[in-house]
Amino acid sequence: MRDSKLSFEQNRTPSETPDYSSRVRDLLAKMNLREKIGQMTQLDLGMVTDGKGQTITINPQKLQKAVIEYGVGSIFNAHDEALPPAKWHELLSQIYSAAALSRLHIPIVYGIDSIHGANYVRGSTLFPQPLAMAATWNPELVLRAAQITAAETRSVGIPWDFSPVLDIGRQPLWPRLYETYGEDPVLAKTMGVAVVRGYEGRDVAQNTSVAACLKHYIGYSGPTTGQDRTPALIPEITLREYYLPSFQAAVQAGAHTVMVNSSEINGVPGHVNKYLLTDVLRGELGFKGVVVSDWEDIKKLVTVHRVAATEKDATRLAITAGIDISMVPSDYSFADLLYELVQEDAVPVSRIDEAVSRILTLKFQLGLFEAREKPAELADRIGTPESRQVSLQAAHEAITLLKNDGNLLPLRKNMRVLLTGPTSNSLRAENNGWTYTWQGDNAALYP
């Protein structure tokens, strides 16, 4: 591997990190229970919009219900496909304006999966998938790609990126293997740290930075069957020696958020695993940021894992285990049920305050409470020639020759090369998932 010492300021010292604790306490004291639980609720974009694709528009009544009535603190996702910057600006300006009219004017934090570039923004710079980026063995290049991704994501008004995927790629059957930085813990943690530093920069509030989200904590990539969202059997020594190092290094690099494993480890679903979420992540690793669930995973504690008889009980188990934000994402059940649980003393108010304090701290750290330039003013940084050149360099450096049989390399200048196989001219295969659609399955949208 090339020198993994990154030419980038490592971590700010605590004295350089702004202290928002008093502002958080003051704001928390003004909030009622409904508003607090709203902050812990994350909804899909479809919950406040009508239409799909490029015709999507904000529904004012839906937005009013989400932001004013329920006080929802987070919205995320693209609805079906990537949008051009102007459409993102149109949607987000209405969402953020609605939040500014709420009783306490608490801003929305919007999240998106920018996995290999700002892949839900039309015209953005796309990079090779993470597995290919790992194959460059060049953390400086990975850091630069992350900086570009952060700047282009923030340019449309989105400050939170559900990336990097730090699952260790040791189960070749797992269909999301391409999202990992490979099978080696040293390589994976080196690239993970580069990505976190590239995303978050010296100050995550800057208009070129986004909050990183480490996922999927932990063991998600090691399912016994190889199928996605299925159980894993991982001895703790293996979990600690192979799966934990990439998360530990990224936490030490200052990552602000973590997303949880959708499945289960050794019979315990990730979303109720208090040992891993609280004892290990916060106690041992010292993580102080926000823990967010994955898609609908509190509900799945009932329907898939069957560790809770009702969604209400599942909500209690997940929140007391350490979940701060529920990616519900398509109804208001979480907010309603958690309110009932607190009223019944089944979940202590202190746990709610703890989670909301972390969420408010994140919003202050991202600069969301401050007046900022409009995202439309930053659109000229998307898909620049310089950024595309970095992507081309990454594609070149990711090319891997497994064996130099017969001294094939270096190639003679007059040599002809046959590119063959069923995916040799497939844009879908070359771009893969998270490319303008979730599965990257619509090549007609590609540039």
Cross-strand bridge partners of residue 213:
257
Task: Measure the CA–CA gap between 112 and 345, rounded to whole angstroms.
Answer: 34
Neighbours of 119 (CB within 10 A): 28
Please provide the DSSP assignment of 382-394 as one string: TT-HHHHHHHHHH
- Does the active-site annotation cover 313? no
Phi and psi dihedrals of 424, rounded to 5?
Answer: -65, -30
The residue among 287, 285, 291, 298 whose CA lies nearest residue 323 is 291
In angstroms, the CA 300 to CA 437 distance is 24
Asked if 382 contacts 150 with a C-beta cutoff of 8 angstroms, the reply is no
Sign of the dihedral defined by the CA atoms of residues 293, 298, 304, 308, in that order = positive
- Rounded Cα distance between 340 and 342, Å, is 5
Which letter does DSSP use for residue 411 in this model?
P
Q: Which residues of 275-392 form beta strands (DSSP E)?
A: 290-292, 326-327
Rg (C-alpha) for the chain, rounded Å, is 22
| Residue of 161, 294, 297, 324 with catalytic role | 294
Residue tagged 């909030």 (tokens)? 31
Residues noted as catalytic: 294
